[in-house]
Amino acid sequence: MYFEPRRAEQFQYQVQTKVNLANDEISRLMGDLAILKGQICEYQDKLNKANYKMAQSLCMFDGKDKLTQVSIKTQIAKLQKAHNIRLQEIQTRHNQEVRNLHADFEETMKLIQKKSADNLNQQNLEYDQMVKREKELLRNLQYEFNLSQNSYKSQKFDPEMAQNHDREMKRMKQLEKTIAKRTQERLDTMLEGKARLAECVDALDEMERNHENEMMGYKMKLEALENRYKEKINRETDRHKSMMSALTRKVANYENKINSMQKTLHKIEKHHKKQIDHAIKEGESFHYLAENAKSFANSVSYHDDQYSFSKDSGHFNNHSFYSRSTRNNSNVDELLNRLNQLRENLETKENELMTERTENESLKREIARLKHEEKMSSRRKAWISQSSP
């Protein structure tokens, strides 16, 4: 009969040990809960900072995009203005050159006409005077010849008169040849002046045609340059639009990913909160069971004292004592089973907690990767906007 108090003491020691272990486990779980709450707050702060940085980056992205568009439009306006001014200058210079060319042509024509007219008038005047003199001389000679003929008919033949007559006839023929020669020279001079005038007119026409061809070439070059400039502007505009649409799609994808990650984090936080609340409740129930076990151990020690007291007094009731001890043993077994079950549940929750921590670390790495991609995309866009004309 003496083994019952010993067994009760052993059972009390075991229960006390398990209660102490349970208290230590509860303290550890409470510490883990505090750590998890701190990590959740830290992750929330990091998430808020990431959202703030994302909003700032989006604002900076929109501002840089608008600034780039404004700078591009300003450059296009400046180039168009410079192009229009250049076209106006070229058109003005072309018109001025055409006017100068026409004025030079008119002045040259007037000068040529004036000089040719003066030269012709001077030569004609000289030739007319010479012809008049020769005609006057010819009339005088004819008159003298007629007189000599009349006198020759009326008088006898005079050899000296015949010689004079021959000399006068030779002189008349020589004068006729001189007049014909001078007339031919005058005609040749007039034809030569006409040919020179035609050459000058042809040269002026050729100069005008060359000038028109040169101006047409300049105009075609300007049109080609303008077309190339417009094509380049259109290509750059299309490239900028495609690049902006691609970047907009990337930003939208990043926003969707971040929103999905935020939703996942909120779900994980809710799940963690539920698990922590459940663990707290189980810890409280475990603590309650430990308190019951402690009270049971105290009751067992109390019954042991009563048993020893009844034995000494000689009033010990064997049947009632064994019935109570059997019932208490069944309660202890039930409590131990419950304790083992709670320990298994606690290990399961710890494994789930480790899994969730791993998922949190992977989500943190994914968020860092997305932030890095967003930063690199903004830098790439800034570089493209700086390198674009």
Q: Smallest Cα–Cα separation from 356: which of 26, 32, 22?
A: 32
The CA distance from 387 to 389, in Å, is: 7
Altogether, the residues listed in the chain come to a count of: 389
CA distances (Å), origin 48, targets 57, 194, 233, 262, 384: 14, 99, 42, 10, 30
pTM as predicted: 0.32
**Which pLDDT does position 1 carry in this prediction?**
43
Average pLDDT score, the chain:
71
pLDDT in tens, 291-334: 665 565 555 444 444 444 444 444 434 444 444 445 545 665 67
pLDDT of the chain, 389 residues: tens digit per residue? 444 566 667 767 777 777 777 777 777 777 777 787 777 778 778 777 877 887 787 788 778 878 888 888 888 888 878 878 887 887 788 778 778 877 777 787 777 667 666 666 776 677 677 777 777 777 777 676 666 666 555 544 456 666 776 777 787 778 778 877 877 887 888 788 778 878 878 887 888 888 888 888 888 888 888 888 888 888 887 887 787 777 778 767 767 776 776 677 667 667 766 766 666 676 566 556 556 655 655 554 444 444 444 444 444 344 444 444 455 456 656 766 766 677 677 777 777 777 777 777 777 777 777 777 777 767 766 666 665 54
Instruction: Report whether 292 contacts 328 (CB < 8 A).
Output: no
**Phi, psi torsion values for 142, nearest 5 degrees:** -65, -40
State in Å, rounded, how far the first CA of the chain is from the last one. Answer: 105
The CA distance from 304 to 318, in Å, is: 13
Q: Is 28 helix (H, G, I), strand (E, B) or coil?
A: helix
**Which pLDDT does position 234 carry in this prediction?**
84
For residue 368, the number of C-alpha atoms closer than 13 Å in the C-beta half-sphere is 7
Indicate if the alpha-carbon torsion angle 343, 348, 351, 357 is positive or negative.
Answer: negative
Instruction: Report whether 296 contacts 332 (CB < 8 A).
Output: yes
Query: From the CB of residue 205, how many other CB atoms can be counted at a distance below 10 Å?
Result: 11
The CA distance from 90 to 152, in Å, is: 88
The CA distance from 51 to 240, in Å, is: 28
Count helices and strands in the chain by DSSP H and E runs: 3, 0
**Which pLDDT does position 313 carry in this prediction?**
42
